[in-house]
Amino acid sequence: MSLPVARPVRTARYRIEHLTRFGYSSPVRRCAMSLCLQPLDGARQQLLGFGITTTPPGGMTTETDPFGNTRHVLTVNETHDTLEVMSVSTVEVFPSPLLPERLGPGAWEVVRSWITDPTCWQFAHPSPGAGPTTALAGFVSELGIEPGSDPLADLVQLASALNDNFDYVAGSTSVDSPIDVILSTRRGVCQDYAHVMIAIARSWGVPTRYVSGYLHVDEASGARNGPASTATHAWVECRLPGLGWVEFDPTNRILVDHRYVRTAVGRDYRDVPPTRGVVEGGANSGLEVEVRVTRLGGATQP
């Protein structure tokens, strides 16, 4: 079974509203937080507008992390028992290029030569959330997953195999769950699918990145085996000869297309959580997230 190849479509423009609400059982005296919420601006998409507001208000600085993602550093120096972070983005996503069914002879040799390339090193070796385990070795052996003669075709088959053998079950894992959880239960969410594909692809020598972002889902183009509504999402991208970084979504058994908005890339989820920080006080805390991705008019033909 193979993944469908993306077809040319109209350029899509989206408005993304992402609300994160923290509630604390006792007042927080101050907090410092890193926010990874601003969509990337690159070849596949253009960032047309972005802003963050917080309640209560705080100081905000901007920095670029080692992976090229934009982060906002928030500091709130007043007592509060709730904190709301609202980001609003406008992004235009361009049609994905058509891909060949296979790469040329010698493609695997080129891929494996990148294992010592300093620009690929961190994406070609294990990371804390996507590395080898005994359970992973058993899963690979059970399914007979191994590279064949063409890296593109092999990665397509790998994504298909993960989709066939895992069930998407919201709440079945947490952001801290190791890949052994989905491997033992065969249930997980997009983050888990991505981590397993990353770990296997890297074991083959393929530089592979974790991508966080948003997926716009409607009745006409709904996800077949993944999130039932618009939400934050995760997928992977693999570096291939002549193609650059190619994006795969094993959760939904498809190559990434105009419905996907990229926010950040890293080795695994631990590099790109939307929010991460420390507070003084607060005791126990709760977290609520609301995301709305709206497709806007005014798209143009490619």
Can you tell me the mean pLDDT for 3-15? 70
Strand blocks (E) in 36-191: 45-55, 59-64, 70-76, 80-93, 167-168, 187-188
pLDDT cut 90: percent of the chain above it: 83
**Does the pLDDT at position 220 exceed 80?**
no
| Consecutive H or E run containing 244 | strand 244-249
Q: How far is CA 167 from the centre of its chain?
A: 18
Which conformational region is residue 285 in: left (phi greater than 0), alpha (psi within -120 to 50 degrees), or beta? beta
Rounded mean pLDDT, 219-238: 66
- Closest of 229, 262, 249 to residue 6, by C-alpha: 249
pLDDT bucket at 9, cuts 50 / 70 / 90: low
Instruction: Give tens-digit pLDDT for 117-169.
Output: 999 999 999 999 999 999 999 999 999 999 999 999 999 999 999 999 999 99
- As a whole number, mean pLDDT of residues 225-243 equals 79
Tell me what pLDDT residue 227 has.
46
**Residues with Cβ within 8 Å of residue 288, at least 6 apart in sequence:** 20, 21, 23
Hey, what domains does the chain have and what are their CATH numbers?
12-93+274-296 (2.60.40.2250), 107-271 (3.10.620.30)
Of the listed ranges 3-17, 55-69, 149-163, the one predicted with least confidence = 3-17
Q: What is the model's pLDDT at position 219?
A: 53
Q: Tell which wins on pLDDT, 7 or 163.
A: 163
Residue 258 CA: distances (Å) to CA of 9, 25, 113, 137: 8, 41, 31, 34
pTM for this model (two decimals): 0.92
pLDDT of amino acid 224? 46
Is the confidence at residue 3, as pLDDT, over 80? no
d(CA 231, CA 56): 25
At residue 281 the predicted structure's pLDDT band, cuts being 50, 70 and 90, is confident
Tell me what pLDDT residue 93 has. Answer: 96
pLDDT category of residue 66 using cuts at 50, 70 and 90: very high
The number of beta carbons lying within 10 Å of the beta carbon of residue 123 is 26
Q: In the chain, where does DSSP find H-type helix?
A: 107-113, 121-124, 134-143, 151-165, 179-185, 190-203
* pLDDT, average across residues 46-67: 97
